[in-house]
Amino acid sequence: MKKFFTFALLCAATAAQASLLTDMAGSLKGVGAIEMDIDQQKNIALFDEPIRSRLRIWVCMSGKMRIENLEPFRSLSIFDGEKLARYEFQNGSWKKLTEANPELAKRIFGQMSGVYTGKIDSGEYDVEEKGSSLTLTPKNAAVKNFIEKIIIETGRDGAKTLAKKITVIDADGDSTTMSIDSCKLLSEEPKIFDTESPEANLKGRRP
């Protein structure tokens, strides 16, 4: 539960007054979706070495998301804007997992997409902007039990301001960092958000 909660907050929506996020929202005008390759590193006190994984994430301006864990194991989450489907790759095919609560999924994935699209909620975090980074401190007492702070590092891609690295510092001192290795801005939404067909329209989109 903690693992999912932490991942859900990696991209959590934040305070609307932050000018960096305003710049990001402006940078994505006319964009249909963002496609990202991500190196994720988890630093856990019980282990001497960090735990690494590779992800590919699609985020649409409409709020749809597709998250694929590529290495060291394969898993998949597809959010079509209303409902969430989760899969694990077993014995050569995708196995669908228990369905998630649709209202909870909508809330979580809406927050997750916020840092990329600039469509953000306000009042959930204290925000400190310094240079090209944002430090977010949760206001909610329940969230504070899991998360100490979230750091979003942005960068320029030509004339655009985009998220480049997101780090979550857990309340117990563990941390998770998502480094965005590559980012493509797509003019249209890809048709890869069918919650009943995880492989639909993926030709040419595999790493």
Q: What CATH number does residue 41 fall under?
A: 2.50.20.10
Tell me, yes or no, whether 73 lies in a domain.
Answer: yes
Tell me, letter by letter, the H, E, C secondary structure of the chain. CHHHHHHHHHCCCCCCCCHHHHHHHHHCCCCCEEEEEEEEEEECCCCCCCEEEEEEEEEECCCCEEEEEEECCCEEEEECCCCEEEEEEECCEEEECCCCCHHHHHHHHHHHHHHHHCCCCCCCEEEEEECCEEEEEECCHHHHCCEEEEEEEEEEECCEEEEEEEEEEECCCCEEEEEEEEEEEECCCCCCCCCCCCCCCCCCCCC
Amino acid, single-letter form, for residue 110: G
Strand partners, 160: 157
Q: Which two tokens stand for residue 150?
A: 């979230």
Tell me, yes or no, whether 197 lies in a domain.
Answer: no
pTM attached to this predicted model: 0.79
**Taking all residues of the chain, what is their mean pLDDT, rounded to a whole number?**
83
Strand partners, 37: 56, 182
Domain count, the chain: 1
Tell me, yes or no, whether 196 lies in a domain.
Answer: no
Query: pLDDT per residue over 116-143, tens digit each?
Result: 776 666 677 777 888 888 887 888 787 7
The pLDDT score that the predictor gives to residue 64 is 93
Tell me, yes or no, whether 31 lies in a domain.
Answer: yes
Query: pLDDT per residue over 76-94, tens digit each?
Result: 999 998 889 999 999 989 9
Work out the pLDDT band at 12, boundaries 50, 70, 90.
very low
Tell me, yes or no, whether 198 lies in a domain.
Answer: no
Q: How far apart are CA 185 and CA 30, in angstroms?
A: 10
As a whole number of Å, the CA-based R_g of the chain is: 16
136-154 average pLDDT score: 84
Tell me, yes or no, whether 103 lies in a domain.
Answer: yes
Q: How far apart are CA 85 and CA 106, in angstroms?
A: 12
Tell me, yes or no, whether 118 lies in a domain.
Answer: yes
Q: What are phi and psi of 8, to 5 degrees?
A: -60, -30
Tell me, yes or no, whether 207 lies in a domain.
Answer: no
The pLDDT score that the predictor gives to residue 114 is 73
Residue 64 sits in which domain range? Answer: 2-186
Query: pLDDT per residue over 168-180, tens digit each?
Result: 899 999 999 999 9
The pLDDT score that the predictor gives to residue 123 is 74
pLDDT at 204 over 60: no
% of the chain surpassing 90 pLDDT: 43
56-76 average pLDDT score: 93
